Amino acid sequence: MDSIEKRFQDTRQRITAALKAAKRNDTVKLLAVSKYHPVEKIKTLYQLGQKDFGENYLTEAQEKIEILHDYAINWHFIGPIQSNKTRMIATLFDWVQSVDRLKIAKRLSEQRPQQTEPLNICLQVNINHEEQKSGFLAHELDAACKQILNYPNLCIRGLMAIPEHTDNVQRQRDNFTRLRTLQEQLASQYKLKLDTLSMGMSNDLEAAILEGSNMVRIGTALFGQRNK
């Protein structure tokens, strides 16, 4: 039976198998990408132990967050960010993984409510220089990180990327290796504890884990096909 419960267990088993193949003794956090999926499915996964959920669209996310306000969910914003949406994103979310330019980082810091903890962020990297994708280019990361460290209401946790789609496992691994290397360089240069390397999705989580990912963003493999 292809139930959400079975898909959750299958996904956890894929992560465990990938960690074993990589000879790793640490853990990988599963981020359930719930965009276009109903609240009922989120509740089901929550009852199974899933606590981290990612949303791409603010209007949709607002409705879900309001309905699920009694649930101890860590909400991650993972979609493109328009300047006029930063205030609500800074208010509603625990994490923003798609910080792709300094203007957005500055606004998120300025608009984060003062009574809350600093907003956890990942810098999104356009690892393959794809024109249709957002993100800092590799050579821009140094200056971006240096500037964002001055923003008091943000906490840089690591890097995120959505590499080119390819079924070539070696090419997948090469892309993920580049992101891991960039994170290691930033951590060393600025003496930062960057504890989040967010890379890997339904089709390439094994390659990502082999190259050091400790957070995979899984939608289809968990929820099934989306009904937009």
Domain count, the chain: 1
| Distance (Å, whole) CA 209 – CA 216 | 8
Structure confidence at residue 226 (pLDDT):
73
Question: Which residues, other chains included, contact 214 with Cβ-Cβ below 8 Å and sequence gap of 6+?
Answer: 26, 27, 28, 29, 195, 196, 197
76 token code pair: 């991650």
- This prediction's pTM: 0.96
Provide the sign of the torsion angle of the four alpha carbons 87, 88, 92, 96, taken in this order.
Answer: negative
| Domain around 177 | 4-220
Whether 226 is in a domain gets the answer no
Whether 135 is in a domain gets the answer yes
Q: CATH number of the domain that 172 lies in?
A: 3.20.20.10
Measured in degrees and rounded to the nearest 5, phi and psi for residue 198 equal -90, 100
Whether 181 is in a domain gets the answer yes
Whether 186 is in a domain gets the answer yes
Would you give per-residue pLDDT tens digits along the chain (228 residues)? Answer: 469 999 999 999 999 999 999 999 999 999 999 999 999 999 999 999 999 999 999 999 999 999 999 999 999 999 999 999 999 999 999 999 999 999 999 999 999 999 999 999 999 999 999 999 999 999 999 999 999 999 999 999 999 999 999 999 999 999 999 999 999 999 999 999 999 999 999 999 999 999 999 999 999 999 988 766
Residues comprising the chain, all counted = 228
Whether 225 is in a domain gets the answer no
Closest CA to 158 of 209, 208, 199, 122: 122
Provide the sign of the torsion angle of the four alpha carbons 78, 81, 85, 88, taken in this order.
Answer: positive
Structure confidence at residue 225 (pLDDT):
81
Q: Cβ-count burial of 158 within 10 angstroms (0-12 exposed, 13-18 middle, 19+ buried)?
A: buried
Whether 227 is in a domain gets the answer no
Whether 228 is in a domain gets the answer no
Alpha-carbon distances, residue 172 vs 69, 127, 165 (angstroms): 37, 11, 8
